[in-house]
Structure 1
Amino acid sequence: MFQNTNLNLLKSLHILLQEAHVSNAAKRLHITQSAVSRQLAQLREMCNDDLLVRSSNYFVLTPKAEILKAKLDSFFGDFEHLLSDITFEPENWSGELIISSSDYVAQYVLPDICSRLNSLAPQLKINYQLWHPVNIERLHELGIDIASTMLPEKPKDVSSLFIGSDHSVLVMRKQHPLSSKNNLGVTELLSYPHIKITGGADKDSMIDQQLSLLNLHREISLQVPFFTAAVSRLIQTDALMVVPLHIAKNLSKFWAITHKNLPFDVDINKYWLIWHPKFDNDVSHKWVREQIVLSMQDSENSIHLS
Structure 2
Amino acid sequence: MNNINLNLLRSLKVLLDECHVSQAANKLNITQSAVSRQLSQLRELFADPLLVRDGNQLIPTPKALQLQAKLEHWFVELDELMVEAEFEPAQWKGEFVLASSDYVAQFILPEIVEAMAVQSPQVSVKYCLWQPDLLSQMAESDIQLASTMSPEPPVGVSSVLIGADYPVVAMHNQHPLAAQAELSVEDLLNFAHIKVIGGGDKDTYIDQALAKLGHQRRIALKVPFFSAAFRSLCLSQHLMVVPEHIASNLQHHYDVVYKRLPVTTPLHKYWLLWHAKYDNQASHQWARNLVHAIMTETSYSIGYDYKS
What band does the TM-score fall into relative to the shorter chain?
0.7 to 0.9
The root-mean-square deviation of aligned C-alpha atoms, in Å, is 1.8
Partner of 2:62: none
Task: Kindly report which structure 2 residues correspond to 1:102-251, keeping only aligned pairs within 5 A, or say none.
Answer: 102-251=101-250
Counterpart CA distance in 2 for 1:189 and 1:125 is 44
Instruction: Indicate the SS of the match to 1:281.
Output: coil
- In the other structure, the counterpart of 2:9 is none
In structure 1, the residue matched to 2:255 is 256
Gaps of 5+ in 1: 6-78
Deviations 1:168-205 (A, max 9, x none): 10000000000000011101010100000101100011
Q: 2:3 and 2:258 mapped to 1: Cα distance?
A: 68
Residue 83 to residue 239, structure 1, CA distance change in 2 (3 Å): same
Secondary structure at the aligned position of 1:187 is classed as helix
Q: Which residue of 1 aligns with 2:69?
A: none
- Equivalents in 2 of 1:101, 1:92: separation in Å? 26
Alignment of structure 1 residues 60-75 onto 2, 5 Å: none
Tell me what 1:19 maps to: none
| Counterpart in the other structure of 1:86 | 85
For 1:199 and 1:113, locate their aligned partners in 2 and report how far apart those are by CA, in whole Å: 20
Amino acid at match of 2:219: I
Alignment of 1:10-21 (within 5 A): none
Cα separation, 2, equivalents of 1:107 and 1:224: 16
Instruction: Give the secondary structure class of the aligned counterpart of 1:142.
Output: coil
Distance 1:80 1:281, change over 3 A: farther
Paired residues in the alignment total 231
Alpha-carbon distance change, 274 to 80 in structure 1, aligned in 2, over 3 angstroms: farther
Distance 1:162 1:261 in 2: 24
Q: Provide the C-alpha distance between the structure 1 equivalents of 2:265 and 2:135, rounded to a whole number of angstroms.
A: 24
How many angstroms apart in 2 are the aligned matches of 1:186 and 1:81?
A: 66
Any conservation in 1 of the 2:145–2:274 contact (CA below 8 Å)?
A: yes
Give me the whole-angstrom Cα distance separating, in 2, the residues matched to 1:135 and 1:294.
24
SS of equivalent to 2:183: coil
Q: Deviations over 1:131-186 (max 9, x none)?
A: 00000111132210000000010111111111111111000000000000001110
| TM-score, length basis structure 1 | 0.73
- For 1:123 and 1:103, the matched residues in 2 are separated by 25
Give the SS at the match of 1:147: strand
Please state how far the C-alpha of 1:4 moved relative to its aligned partner.
5.6
Cα gap change, 1:138/1:81 in structure 2, threshold over 3 Å: closer, same or farther? farther
Secondary structure class of the residue paired with 2:171: strand
Name the structure 2 match of 1:284. Answer: 283
Find the residue that maps to 1:237 and give its secondary structure: coil
Describe the shift of the 1:82–1:152 C-alpha distance in structure 2 as closer, same or farther (beyond 3 A).
farther
- Cα offset, 1:81, TM superposition: 10
Residues 139, 80 of structure 1: alpha-carbon distance in 2 compared, 3 angstrom cutoff: farther
| In structure 1, distance between residues paired with 2:210 and 2:80 | 52
| Counterparts of 2:83 and 2:177, CA distance in 1 | 61
Report the TM-score, using the length of structure 2 for normalisation: 0.72
Alpha carbons of structure 1 residues 198 and 140: separation in structure 2 relative to 1, 3 Å? same
**AA aligned opposite 2:179:** S
State the identity as a percent.
44
- TM superposition shift of 1:280: 0.4
> SS at the partner of 1:111?
helix
Matched to 1:101, the amino acid is S
- The answer on whether the counterparts of 2:162 and 2:296 sit within 8 Å (CA) in structure 1 is no
Distance 2:110 2:120 in 1: 15
For 1:29, the equivalent position in structure 2 comes to none
Return the offset for 1:298. 2.4
Q: In structure 2, how many angstroms separate the alpha carbons of the residues matched to 1:171 and 1:104? A: 15
- In structure 1, how many angstroms separate the alpha carbons of the residues matched to 2:196 and 2:82? 46
Q: Which amino acid aligns with 2:275?
A: H
Structure 1 residue 117 displacement after superposition: 1.4
